[in-house]
Amino acid sequence: MQSSADIPSPKMRALVGDHARAISEQADRHAVELESLLAVLRSSRLDDRAARATAIDIAAASLVSLRTASDNEQSTMIEPVVTAFARLKNDLRPLVRFGDLDVQFIEPPSTGRALPGEVAQAARAIVRNSVLALADAADTRRVRIQWDCDGQNLLIGIRDDGPGELSRHDDVLRPIAEKVSALEGELEVTSTPGWGSSLSITLPLDPPPEPDALEDTVQLSARERDVLRLVASGARNRAIAQQLQISENTVKFHVSNLLRKAGASTRAELAALAKQRIG
């Protein structure tokens, strides 16, 4: 007998259904593209050079479409942490197989929490970029990559045996820092001259909580709430006065109080805070 824990939720069933439809659509699209390639290569109306050029164009467009569809799908799905790490190893396989760099992988625990698609994609990109940045140093021979999960964050550790001269502000780490920052994560870089550099990256698995409404963090009167919403909509003082049937001087008074209460220095900053916090 199936327990309630084994029965997928409506949201999960919807995700599975969407995934199945996406796979079916991809299969149909790729079948058409392959048939198109065959038609071009078999065509008696094209010489070899024209057929080759046309086939390359079709294949290139198909590849772009495939990658875009894959990225879009992965961003909405979740990946077991061990699967995400296996995909990372596969990404780095050519570098390990054909390069001079010794890449060591420390597997994450199989019981680690599954990763949201966006986090899994970003984590792989961060590691790939980090390995390339560390390997760029002439003296680097070995890089160790470790993933772990504490239930709330993906913990990434990357260490090399290079000259130990990297800092967080180096240009080669800028794309990595931007990706980490975009996910509200943290990046620490530790270097010891002659011993190598270490990157410690923490990526939260849950989106940051919504900020409290401005109305919940400061005490506002009913009229101030009305003025704040209109300021957030971009209305000027005259329009606010007409809509609320009060004088422009009264609007100015309320706006001044709102600036003070919100800790904003300009009307634009107040509008931005209002849009961010009360939507």
Which band of pLDDT confidence, cut at 50, 70 and 90, is reported for residue 213?
Answer: low
Task: Please report the DSSP string for 49-67 in residue order.
Answer: HHHHHHHHHHHHHHHHHHH
- For residues 158 and 143, is the Cβ–Cβ distance under 8 A? yes
Residue type (1 letter), 106: I
- Statement: residue 110 has pLDDT above 70: yes
- Statement: residue 1 has pLDDT above 70: no
**Which pLDDT value is given to residue 105?**
94
> Residue 214: which of 144, 143, 270, 266 has the closest Cα?
270
β-strand partners of 204? 153
Angle at 132 between CA 197 and CA 206, to 5 degrees: 80
What is each CA distance from 250 to 140, 181, 240, 261, in whole angstroms?
67, 42, 10, 17
Non-local (6+) Cβ contacts of 258 within 8 A are 220, 224, 227, 228, 231, 264, 270
- Statement: residue 6 has pLDDT above 50: no
Percentage with pLDDT > 90 across the chain:
18
146 torsion bin: left (phi>0), alpha (psi -120 to 50), beta (else):
beta
- Please tell me what DSSP assigns to residue 160: E
**Which pLDDT value is given to residue 3?**
46
**Which pLDDT value is given to residue 154?**
94
Q: Is the dihedral of CA 134, 139, 142, 148 positive or negative?
A: negative
- Between 34-43, 60-69, 174-183, the lowest mean confidence (pLDDT) is in 60-69
User: Helix (H, G, I), strand (E, B), or coil: what is residue 201?
Assistant: strand
**Which pLDDT value is given to residue 155?**
95
**Model pLDDT for residues 224-243, shown as the tens digit of each residue:** 888 888 888 888 899 899 88
- How big is the chain, counted in residues? 279
Q: Average pLDDT in the 69-94 region?
A: 77
- Statement: residue 187 has pLDDT above 70: yes
Beta strands per DSSP E along 71-127: 78-79, 102-106, 115-116
**Which pLDDT value is given to residue 184?**
86
Q: Which residue has the higher pLDDT, 29 or 211?
A: 29
Q: Is the dihedral of CA 130, 132, 134, 140 positive or negative?
A: positive
CA distance 36 to 226: 60
pTM of the model: 0.53
Which band of pLDDT confidence, cut at 50, 70 and 90, is reported for residue 65?
Answer: low
For the ranges 93-107, 135-149, 182-196, 199-213, the maximum mean pLDDT occurs at 182-196
Q: Which residue has the higher pLDDT, 264 or 218?
A: 264
Beta strand pairing status for 142-149 and 102-106? Answer: parallel
- Statement: residue 11 has pLDDT above 60: no
**Which pLDDT value is given to residue 203?**
93
**Which pLDDT value is given to residue 74?**
53
- Please tell me what DSSP assigns to residue 115: E
CA distance 270 to 232: 8
Q: Average pLDDT in the 12-29 region?
A: 60
- Between 44-48, 65-69, 95-99, 183-187, the lowest mean confidence (pLDDT) is in 65-69
Average pLDDT score over the chain: 79
CA distance 222 to 227: 9
Which band of pLDDT confidence, cut at 50, 70 and 90, is reported for residue 278?
Answer: very low
